[in-house]
Structure 1
């Protein structure tokens, strides 16, 4: 009997202990809790470094500086950084005579039926976007344009045009251009032309001529290979070029880099301008060559001089003929970008 009571007592104790510690002895399934994935915060894009910004600005600057112009550049007044595809007009200015209707009739060398060429100029309206205006101006913000505004023609600088149309940067703008065309005629026909005033200045050609033009690549075809990406500085030699090829390259770099280039970034239009010190090509205080001096020395020794009167290419930078020759200097894009970056860094 006592044994039975003991067994029952143990059973009760075990039952009580089992009830009290049931969670530890018989773990059940806990309610499932969905873990929320950590929210992904949009990683902010790292801001471009100052160096990368300058690189981008420099590349855009050079791209605008060397934009191929739609019209041929006259050899008699070239001063441009251009690509190999830029066309140079080689028609000598000397064959164009300035005269009047009356003087043509009085000229004993011209018979009534003598064939002559009359160079006429007419106004032509061309619609252009601000982007195209910048490209054709070569980035020169001070270039004067004639803009058709309603029924009036206004003379505005490229800068003023960009400011006026800043709110609508993709709208077309009506630009009035002077277009030349060559008309074969005779003194007799000119005398009867009622559209010409008796005292009006006329441009005529009385000598045999050819309308000649060539790209930079064609002019340099026999002078050896150059990179497809080469950029050429083309400049007519002038009477004032008393410092030779060195001075021509130096002035070309300073002038073209200082004129200010309007560069579009998205919807924004910004002007980039590099003022290169006038003494940037001189020796440094330790008598070593400056950055620009070394570059100009190299380019002067590699220069080509083309005589467009004699159709002859030469490489002697010490013998030049003002008004008859153009200097052609080959730059690699990295060299021009290097100029931009060097002087931006110097200016801080």
Structure 2
């Protein structure tokens, strides 16, 4: 059988493909050509180079370093620390200048009754007195009324029974007691602490019962002392400073504790001074409570050395007998005045030492 002749391939598809490729190449070439229209400007614009004005920068003066600021604070603090007239009420020690005066209020304290106080012939009608007592009031009410009017259900309620005895219970226990009639009448005793400043004459005309128990503080005037007369030291400048403290029952730590707590309290309280620094008028420094403890090496601390020296050189003046003592182990509440001499330089060193510690801690905190 004769084979059929193979048909020749058509050129049409190839021609069409070539036409498509040529078209795509034209489009791509046209997109790559920049489109720009040039215009001739008449007259032409001349572009000048900008003139830059020369500015001379003055060097900024360096700010005052922290050490100089601390020294200034210490100097101002000590210069304004003491005064020439100090009144000691036993609540807080004070600093006084050597040429200053000390006023000590004479306050007598008694636990007595109104009747006994008024019977004291040594007291005039004008004698000031402060009395403290507990005022008792009886109120007729019910458990339900107390429940409705009392927010704190744990409040202790004192009830007077029929036989005159008293029962104290938290209100919540009375509310939850199913054996109590919540609407039955009960007598509740309310106690309130009262403090009054008055005179003996006014007290005699009050409605208080002569049997009323009171704590009385009687103002018997004051004692005025000269620091120069007490210390009798001509070798000190009038600008010398003394820390003063009136011995009280609260002084359990002896002379060392008196000086330590006095310095801590006074330096922490600080002084208000104008112009001492930027946005700062209160000048103060914190002395840690354990600053007098020995160092880890066993050596005395900075404050410990100062306190030891001051204990040994302290003045202990008995203002009831006008006698001076120097034994730090013999101090008596109510009749002795402690005087501790500090030079201005010593106080400045104390301020700067603990101010530097504060600054170092602040820098360490900022770094970390």
Normalised by the size of structure 1, how large is the TM-score? 0.55
Please give the alpha-carbon distance, in whole angstroms, between the structure 1 residues aligned to 2:228 and 2:111: 31
- Aligned residue pair count: 233
Please give the alpha-carbon distance, in whole angstroms, between the structure 2 residues aligned to 1:239 and 1:333: 30
Task: Give the one of 223, 226, 235 matched to 2:236.
Answer: 226
Q: What is the deviation of 1:323?
A: 2.3
Partner of 1:58: 74
Task: Give the one of 74, 95, 118 matched to 2:88.
Answer: 74
Please give the alpha-carbon distance, in whole angstroms, between the structure 2 residues aligned to 1:275 and 1:204: 37
Task: Give the one of 75, 81, 84 matched to 2:98.
Answer: 84
Larger radius of gyration between Structure 1 and Structure 2? 2
Q: Is the 8 A contact 1:306 1:312 kept in 2?
A: yes
Secondary structure of the structure 2 residue equivalent to 1:270:
strand
Q: Is the 8 A contact 1:104 1:110 kept in 2?
A: no
Residues 1:199 and 1:305: Cα distance change in structure 2 (over 3 Å): same
1:117-266 matches, cutoff 5 A: 117-119=126-128, 197-199=206-208, 211-220=222-231, 222-223=232-233, 225-265=235-275
Residues 1:204 and 1:257: Cα distance change in structure 2 (over 3 Å): closer
Q: What is the deviation of 1:313?
A: 1.3
Q: What is the deviation of 1:223?
A: 4.8
The CA deviation string for residues 251-287 of structure 1, in whole angstroms up to 9 with x for no partner, is 1111211224332117955323322222211221222
The CA deviation string for residues 90-122 of structure 1, in whole angstroms up to 9 with x for no partner, is 45322899986x7666x2x549xx96652389x
Q: Is the 8 A contact 1:91 1:210 kept in 2?
A: yes
Please give the alpha-carbon distance, in whole angstroms, between the structure 1 residues aligned to 2:353 and 2:94: 21
Q: Which runs of 5+ in 2 are unaligned?
A: 1-55, 131-196, 361-368
Please give the alpha-carbon distance, in whole angstroms, between the structure 2 residues aligned to 1:284 and 1:329: 25
Residues 1:93 and 1:276: Cα distance change in structure 2 (over 3 Å): same
Residues 1:116 and 1:346: Cα distance change in structure 2 (over 3 Å): same
Partner of 2:302: 291
Q: Which runs of 5+ in 1 are unaligned?
A: 1-39, 122-179
User: Which structure has more strand as a fraction of its residues?
Assistant: 2
For the aligned residues, what is the CA RMSD?
Answer: 3.9
Q: Is the 8 A contact 2:84 2:97 kept in 1?
A: no
Q: Is the 8 A contact 1:90 1:308 kept in 2?
A: no
Residues 1:115 and 1:244: Cα distance change in structure 2 (over 3 Å): closer
Residues 1:44 and 1:99: Cα distance change in structure 2 (over 3 Å): farther
Secondary structure of the structure 2 residue equivalent to 1:341:
helix
Please give the alpha-carbon distance, in whole angstroms, between the structure 1 residues aligned to 2:282 and 2:250: 31
Q: Is the 8 A contact 1:68 1:85 kept in 2?
A: no
Residues 1:67 and 1:42: Cα distance change in structure 2 (over 3 Å): farther
Residues 1:288 and 1:110: Cα distance change in structure 2 (over 3 Å): closer
